Amino acid sequence: MPQDTVAPSFKRVMLKISGEALMGDQGFGLHPPTVQRIAAEVKSVHDLGVEICMVIGGGNIFRGLSGSAQGMERTTADYMGMIATVMNALAMQSALEAEGIHTRVISAITMNEVAEPYIRRRAVRHLEKKRVCIFAAGTGNPYFTTDTAAALRANEMSCEAILMGKNGVDGVYDKDPAKHDDAKRYDTVSYDDVLQKRLAVMDASAIALARDNNLPIIVFSLDEPGGFRGILAGEGTYTRVQG
């Protein structure tokens, strides 16, 4: 479909991706070609006129819960994880600006030399000016995941949907498709079913926050070229989590 004929289904969205999505086949850290590929996907949606927020996890660098499990004090480990998300946000900012897209990294932890502090009205203004806002450092509080941060910021920014870009899966399944050949994908599933069946979408706090504000969550594969743009054009394979 020609780009200029696509009428996107949402005007403002939150794209949530894991830190692991940025490491490619390396198993750790950042893989610049993978970051650039995802940036190109974001550009294809930005070119449709869609206003884009992003939240990126930090699991490719450090995961607070994992550090805590190895004996590190939980609060300290979580703050280290938040700093990892800032590193990923800066990498994505660099890749997006190489694509000619104006961006802002907005951190919940003050670090003025590399990112703006989170001020809601300022962030909304950036979106209105068609800048991509990359929200880093989670909620700024330990014990909360970047899933919860994505749901929180999506609501604060009045996003119309959260798009969860997954690695290796193209939606929500009743069981792990990597381990079970008979796993079935849902086309739609309710927030309550996600919580009751403990389906791997987002953590419970994020799902509850989306449910309470009637914010749909669309789970799709980040591995499929054009997948992000396809969702906005009403195409592709995905699962919609809704009321």
Q: Can you spell out the DSSP letters for the chain?
A: --GGG---S-SEEEEEE-GGGGSTTSSSS--HHHHHHHHHHHHHHHTTT-EEEEEE--TTT--HHHHHHTT--HHHHHHHHHHHHHHHHHHHHHHHHHTT--EEEEESS--TTTSEE--HHHHHHHHHTTPEEEEESTTSSTT--HHHHHHHHHHHTT-SEEEEEESS-SSEESS-TTT-TT--EESEEEHHHHHHTT-SSS-HHHHHHHHHTT--EEEEESSSTTHHHHHHTT-S-EEEEE-
**Burial state string for 199-215 with b = 16 or more CB within 10 A and e = fewer than 16:** bebbeebbbbbbbeeeb
pLDDT band at 14 (very low <50, low <70, confident <90, very high): very high
Q: What is the bridge-based pairing of β-strands 132-136 and 103-107?
A: parallel
Instruction: Give the tens place of pLDDT for each residue, 18-50.
Output: 999 999 888 889 999 999 999 999 999 999 999
pLDDT band at 4 (very low <50, low <70, confident <90, very high): low
What percentage of residues in the chain have a pLDDT greater than 90?
A: 74
- pLDDT of 241 above 60: yes
CATH class in words for 3-242: alpha beta
> Can you give the residue ranges of every domain in the chain?
3-242
- pLDDT of 2 above 70: no
pLDDT at 67: 78
Mean pLDDT, residues 190-198:
92
Q: What is the mean pLDDT of the chain?
A: 92
pLDDT at 64: 78
207 vs 234, more confident: 207
Instruction: Give the tens place of pLDDT for each residue, 115-136.
Output: 999 999 999 999 999 999 999 9
How far apart, in whole angstroms, are the C-alpha atoms of residue 115 and residue 186?
Answer: 38
CB atoms within 10 A of CB 98: 13
Q: Which residues are bridge partners to 12 per DSSP?
A: 51
User: For residue 211, what are the contacts with CB-CB under 8 A and spacing of at least 6?
Assistant: 191, 192, 243
